Every structure is written in structure tokens, then in C-alpha cells.
A and B are shown apart, each in its own frame.
Chain A
Amino acid sequence: MKNEAQLFKSLADETRLRILWLLMVKEELCVCDIMGVLRITQSKASRHLRYLYHLGWVTDRREGVWMNYRLSITPGSPEDKQLKLLADILHSQPEAQALRNRLEQWLAAKGQSQDAAACQCS
């Protein structure tokens, strides 16, 4: 049962919950998006993303100096069910809604400066 405990442990941290929530909103996010929306340092964002990566929650794609992440969940898997439950719980929460809005604003601002190099967020 160690594996199951570990699976639940990946949801036992506030920052990781927020990252997963953001990835449920937007298919793929750059580390810099996560830093900007959650207002955390690059090292913290990358550390949590690597953690999620090693547990199989996300896959990565390199783009220049930045790493991009997206969810890699098999439909019907325990992870998929956990994530659905999480979305269910968070859906009605003001904090989660605020995060979603902040992400949209962030991405809109990023889209306007599209001509600059993709990720000049820092």
C-alpha cells in the first residue's frame, strides 16, 4: 500500500494542489506561468513540478531554456479519479476561482507580448 500512500501524498501539499488545478484549467503550462500565477520562486515551482513528474502526474517538454508541463493521466486510472475528485472539491472554492482568473489574466498578458521571446516572464 506504499504506492497508494505515495499517490495521496502527492496531493498533500498546497502548492502541488494548486499546480494540478492550474494544469486542469490549461493544457500546457511553462514553469514561468506557474511562477507568475502562484507567485513562487523558480526553484520552488521546478521542485514541485519535478516531484509530480517523477510520480507520473505530468510530462515535460523543453522549449529553449524553459520547461513546459502537462498532465499525463490515463482516463479511468486512480490518478484520473483522484484528480476528478480534487476538481470536484475545488470547483466551488473562491480561492480556486481566483487562481483560475489570475491564470487567464496572466496568459492574456503573455499573449500580447507574443512577439518577444516566448517566455520573458522573469
Chain B
Amino acid sequence: MRAEARFFKSLADETWLKILWLLSGTEELCVCDVIDVLGITQSKASRHLRYLYHLGWVMDRRDGLWMNYRLTVTPGSPREKLLKLLTEMLAPQPEAQALRGQLARCLEAKRNTECAKRLKSSQKRSLQELLET
């Protein structure tokens, strides 16, 4: 039952849950989207995404400097059922809805700017916010 325990463990971390939640609402995400929406560092985002990658939840696609990730879930598999359950649990939650909203804004902004530039400005923004408080 070690494999099953590991399977559930992949949802035992708040950040993993959030990443899977974001991915379940869109086809593909760049690491920079995850950084931006969740407000975490690049190293943390990449580390979590690699973890999900090694557990078989996501697959990757390189695009220049950035890595993109999408869910790889076989229909009817336990993984798919677990994901369905997760989205069912999260959907009514304001926190989860807020994340989806943030992601939509982030993807909208991306249409106009490249990832790196946008990220720089968002980091500048959060630094400013930090200084102001």
C-alpha cells in the first residue's frame, strides 16, 4: 500500500493542491504563471512542479527559458477520480475561486507581455507592496 500512500501524499501539501487546482482549470501553465499567481519564488514553484512531474501528475514542455506544465491524467484512472474529488471539494471555496480569478488576470496580462518582463514587473510590484507595509 506504499504506492497508494504516496498517491495521496501528492495532495498533502497546500502548494501542490493549489498547483493542481490551477492546472485543472486550464490547459497549460508556465512556471512563471505559477510564480505569479501563488506569489512564490521560482525555486519553490519549480521544485513543486518537478515533484508532481516525477509522480506522474504533469508533463513538461520547454519553451525557451521557461518550462510549461500540463496535467497528464488518464480518463477513468484513480488519479482522475482523485482530481475530480479535489476539484469538487475546492470549487465552492472562496480561496480557490480567488486563485482562479488571479490566474485569469495573469493569463490576460500575458497576452500583452512576455513571461520574463511580466514576472519582473510583478516582482517589483510585490517588493513595493512589501516596502509600503
Contact = CB atoms under 8 A, between A and B. Distances in A.
A82 B78 CA distance: 11
Contacts of A8: 8-9, 11-12, 17
Interface string A68-79: 000000000010
B12 A17 contact: no
Contact of A11 (B5, B17, B21, B89): B5
A14 B5 contact: yes
A81 B85 contact: yes
Contacts of B78: 85, 88-89
A36 B118 CA distance: 59
Interface size class of B (residues with CB under 8 A): 20 to 34
A12 B16 CA distance: 14
Contacts of A54: none
A9 B5 CA distance: 9
A4 B5 contact: no
Q: Which are the 5 A-B pairs with shortest beta-carbon distances? A: A12-B9, A9-B12, A11-B8, A8-B11, A12-B12
8 contacts: A1-B96, A4-B17, A5-B16, A8-B9, A11-B4, A14-B1, A17-B4, A93-B1
Interface of B: 1-2, 4-9, 11-14, 16-18, 21, 78, 81-82, 85-86, 88-90, 93, 95-96
Interface of A: 1-2, 4-6, 8-9, 11-14, 16-18, 21, 78, 81-82, 85-86, 88-90, 93, 95-96
